[in-house]
Homo-oligomer: A and B are copies of this chain.
Amino acid sequence: MAELFLPEAPSAASPLPANEPPAIPRGSVGVVSPQRIAFDQPLALTSGQVLPRYELAVETYGSLNAERSNAVLICHALNASHHVAGISADNPKDIGWWDNMVGPGKAVDTDRYFVIGVNNLGSCFGSTGPASLNPDTGRPWGAAFPVLTVEDWVRAQARLADHFGIERFAAVMGGSLGGMQALSWAITCPERVGHCIVIASTPRLSAQNIGFNEVARRAIISDPDFHGGDYYAHDTVPRHGLAVARMIGHITYLSDDDMATKFGRAQRAPADNGEFHYGYDVEFEVESYLRYQGEKFSTYFDANTYLLITRALDYFDPSRNHGGDLARALQSATADFLLVSFTTDWRFPPERSREIVRALLQNNRAVTYAEINAPHGHDAFLLDDVRYHAVVQGYYDRIAVKLGLGERKQINGVLA
């Protein structure tokens, strides 16, 4: 189990001095630490390869009830991790990536749900991945780490559910790539998913999506510091390629309008007379922002993981083995579904979610669908939007009623 520090009970293990309790906002799960769980049985992968053993980095929030009926699995997108909510014990500035969504009294209410955040297999935040040691060689896997699929992640995560003794999740939930995992859970392990929550996602990448992924990969692979994926042995990282990859990705996460509002054509540091510098250094705020994002990313993200995760995105297409018919691919699913999309998301636009909704309705599944009018593009799924969060909160409240998980706690006489 994760070490879980609730506001009411700050632990002595907290890195913060005992006489200075951290100012934890109401509704935070508090200071959290990950655990690493080892799986020693070989894992057969879609590619035909076998991973001899692996570890998954995990955080949990809330308590698993006696019936083990209140578990929620949160699946992450490209560059996120198991650190979904709360304050990292290692770094008080490191707040979970979906902290606005998950916590006591929040949409995913940890007073009633036991929430698991898991770092994907192949990622670089504690789970086994290309930077891990290959037991056969004693050196990092590097380019030899097997290519994974969304289905492989689900298989790896299913063992995590076994580890916690969870036969059936109240909900499996994710945004973007995380939504693909939730969808795949509902298709491949139908009996283990009560509710499937798919946010800002798609049943498959478009040619344009694959195109952007491919450009990002080319930027990494053609960086001489990539060394065919074995840069660990050369004590370097392909940071230029990784930065360019991240810059490309970042543009696709934001809407054109959002970028116009945030940056417009504002100059970063104009010459004395307000003029341009007439050169190739930063002139515009948007350049500065993208460079900063790219450079920051290149200091903490593993390049091989970037390749691996974008490739898993490319491959995902549950309809592929059903003649392209998504409804047939979803025939096995028995969960109830919530889908949410955002109007200005041009990476995975609402039409991609509607496609899933139509396919589910063809199968007579119970589907709730919300299309949120939001200016923030794909990134909207990470942001605090009152209508979006109200939809998710309402959905989880209904699940709680169905499962007898009790009411939302009252705070100051009003529902939290």
Give residues in A with beta carbon < 8 Å to B: 46-49, 146-147, 204-208, 210-212, 214-215, 217-219, 221-224, 240-241, 243-244, 247-248, 251, 254, 256, 259-260, 262-265, 276, 278-280, 283-287, 290-291, 294, 307, 311, 314-315, 317, 346
Contact = CB atoms under 8 A, between A and B. Distances in A.
Contacts of A46: 278
8 contacts: A206-B259, A207-B263, A208-B254, A210-B287, A221-B280, A222-B240, A224-B224, A265-B317
Contacts of A346: 256, 346
Contacts of A260: 206-208
A244 B222 contact: yes
Contacts of A207: 256, 259-260, 262-265, 284-286
User: Copy number in this complex?
Assistant: 2
B214 A247 contact: yes
Contact of A265 (B205, B248, B280, B284): B205
A307 B279 CA distance: 9
Pick from A208, A221, A285, A290 the residue with the most CB of B within 10 Å.
Answer: A208
Contacts of A49: 278
A345 to B, nearest CB: 12
B210 A251 contact: no
Contacts of A280: 147, 217, 221, 307, 311
A264 B205 CA distance: 9
Contact of A218 (B247, B279, B286): B247
Contact of A286 (B211, B221, B284): B211
A10 to B, nearest CB: 43
